[in-house]
């Protein structure tokens, strides 16, 4: 969607649909430190919540409705609560990669 901007903050996820004139908070509370977008489906968004001691520390959040709602993945075994960086491959749109100092996860 043109003119749509996503911003992850220590207070959650905010989305603007009017070229950053206004923002609406869609996730309240988590510390969103990374956001990745599906290469062919703009409704699918991935986010990482790095809130220390939080429930989602070893999980990837996934939205299928453009960021309106999210569900958490299963724990990434072996990550050990390390900060994750997300990537979605344009060559494999169903592949989501997460990298931390403890490894790379798919």
Residues 45 and 38 sit within 8 Å (Cβ to Cβ): yes
Asked whether the beta carbons of 41 and 93 are under 8 A apart, the reply is yes
| Confidence (pLDDT) at 53 | 63
Using a pLDDT cut of 70, give the percent of the chain over it.
Answer: 92
Position 94 scores a pLDDT of 83
Quick one: pLDDT at residue 1?
57
In this predicted structure, what is the pLDDT of residue 55? 66
The mean pLDDT of the chain is 88
Q: Is the pLDDT of residue 80 over 70?
A: yes
d(CA 35, CA 47): 4
Q: pLDDT for 19-63, tens place per residue? A: 899 999 998 878 899 999 999 999 999 998 887 666 667 789 999
């Amino acid at each position: 969607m043109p003119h749509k901007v996503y911003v992850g903050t220590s207070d959650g996820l905010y989305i603007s649909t009017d070229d950053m004139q206004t923002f609406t908070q869609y996730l309240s509370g988590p510390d969103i430190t990374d956001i990745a977008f599906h290469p062919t489906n703009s409704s699918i968004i991935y986010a990482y919540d790095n809130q220390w001691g939080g429930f989602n520390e070893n999980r990837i959040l996934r939205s299928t409705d453009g960021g309106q709602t999210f569900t958490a993945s299963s724990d990434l075994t072996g990550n050990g609560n390390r900060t994750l960086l997300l990537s979605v491959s344009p060559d494999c749109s169903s592949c989501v990669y997460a990298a931390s100092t403890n490894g790379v996860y798919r």
